[in-house]
Amino acid sequence: MTVRLSSAEDYATLLDKYDTWMFDCDGVLWHGDRVIDGIVEVLDILRSRNKKVLFVTNNATKSRKSYKGKFDQLGVEAHVVRPIFHGHEFWPILKLSTEPKDEIYGSAYAAAVYISSVIKLPKTKKVYVIGMSGLEEELKDEGVSFVGGTDPADCTLEPYSLTNFVSDPDVAAVVCGLDTRLTYTKISKAFQYLTRNPGCYFIATNEDSTYPSAEGLLPGAGSISAPLRYALGKDPICTGKPSSAMMDCIRAKVTFDPKTTIMVGDRLNTDIEFGQNGGLSTLLVLTGVTAEADIAGPSASSIVPDFVTASLADLKVVGK
C-alpha cells in the first residue's frame, strides 16, 4: 500500500530511514533545461546529512561525462570520475580522496558495458548504432567499435534502396537509443544486419515510450526501437531501467544496502519497477510522466510505489 507523504514528520522519517538515494533525472530534477524549484535545496539537505546521492537516467542521448555538463549548467551538484591518460593506461583521478566517485549512471553506459563485459563482443566485431553522440561516446570508452549513429551517410533523408547496400559481416549487434535524427536509412540498415548477420544482437538502451521535455511529452527511446520490433517480430534486450543490467552497473561501482536505499522517479514502469526489481524502496513524484489517475482509481497501474509525493522539492520542509 502506498504511503502518501504530506507532513514535515513524514519527510523527516523518510530522510532518517534511507542512506542511499537514487534519482531519475528528467521529470524528477528538471524539465528540459529548467530545474524544478526546490530541487537543489533538497539535494543539499541530503548531502549535508551524508547521504549517498546517485543519478540513474534512461536518457541515452548523452554520455555520463556530457551529462555532467548539464548538471553543471543547471547548478545541480554531481560527480563523475575524470579519467586521464597516464602512459598506456587510463587512471581515474579525483581532486580529493574524500570526493564522491561516480554518481551518474545512464542507459547508454549500461548498454556499452553490457556489450563489452556481458556479451564480450570480440574486438574484431562492430555495433550498428541507432542513436546519438552520447551513446557513441560510451561505446568508444568501452572499446567497442561502431558504425551508423551520427554518420552523415546514415542521417540522410534521401530515399533508401538496397541496390547500393554493402553488408558489413563484422556487425554483430544493433543498439537503439533515443535518436532525434532517426531516418528510414538507419532503420533499414539495422533491419538488414539483424536479419542477415547470424546471431546479431538486438539491444535497446531503454524502452521509455515517452520522455518529458520542458514543453511537454515527446516520443522516447522505446518509440525509436518500435519499428524494428514490429518488423522483426521480437523484442530487444533492454539495458536501461527497469533492467537488472543497470543495477549491476551501479553495484559494480557503489556499495549500498538495498534495505536502506530508495529509488525516486516519475515513471512507474521504469523507475519504480527498477527499484522494486532491485529490492529497493520507491518514491514516486508527480512532476513528470505519472499522473494521479495512474496510481488511484479504476485505471490504476499494478505497479505500486512505497511512497508518493507531489514533488521531490516537498522534502525541503525538513531543512538542514
pLDDT band at 100; cut points 50, 70, 90: low
* Average pLDDT estimate for 43-63: 96
CB distance 232 to 225 below 8 Å: no
* Average pLDDT estimate for 214-219: 88
pLDDT band at 9; cut points 50, 70, 90: very high
Residue 188's φ and ψ, nearest 5 degrees, are: -65, -45
- Count CB neighbours of 263 within 10 A: 30
Residue 126's φ and ψ, nearest 5 degrees, are: -130, 165
Catalytic residue among 19, 151, 294, 314: 19
Sole residue written with cell 519497477: 273
Q: Which stretch of DSSP H or E encloses residue 140? A: helix 133-141
Write the pLDDT tens digit of every residue in 274-320: 999 999 999 999 999 999 889 988 889 999 999 999 999 999 999 86
DSSP type of residue 92: E
pLDDT at 213 (0 to 100): 81
* Average pLDDT estimate for 124-138: 97
pLDDT at 91 (0 to 100): 37
pLDDT at 299 (0 to 100): 86
Q: Is 304 helix (H, G, I), strand (E, B) or coil?
A: coil
271 vs 248: CA distance, rounded Å: 15
pLDDT at 227 (0 to 100): 97
Write the pLDDT tens digit of every residue in 132-155: 999 999 999 999 999 999 999 999
- To 5 degrees, how large is the angle CA 39–CA 282–CA 37? 15
Instruction: Give me the chain's average pLDDT, please.
Output: 92
Give, rounded to a whole angstrom, the gap between the first and last alpha carbons of the chain.
29
Burial class of 213 by CB neighbour count within 10 A (0 to 12, 13 to 18, 19+): middle
Write the pLDDT tens digit of every residue in 223-276: 999 999 999 999 999 999 999 999 998 998 899 999 999 999 999 999 999 999
Q: Is the pLDDT of residue 101 over 90?
A: no
To the query of whether residue 72 is one of the catalytic residues in this protein, the response is: no
295 vs 308: CA distance, rounded Å: 9
pLDDT band at 88; cut points 50, 70, 90: very low
Sole residue written with cell 570480440: 122
* Average pLDDT estimate for 45-70: 95
pLDDT at 252 (0 to 100): 85
CB distance 282 to 276 below 8 Å: yes
* Average pLDDT estimate for 173-181: 97
- Give percent above pLDDT 70 in the chain: 94
pTM for the model stands at 0.86
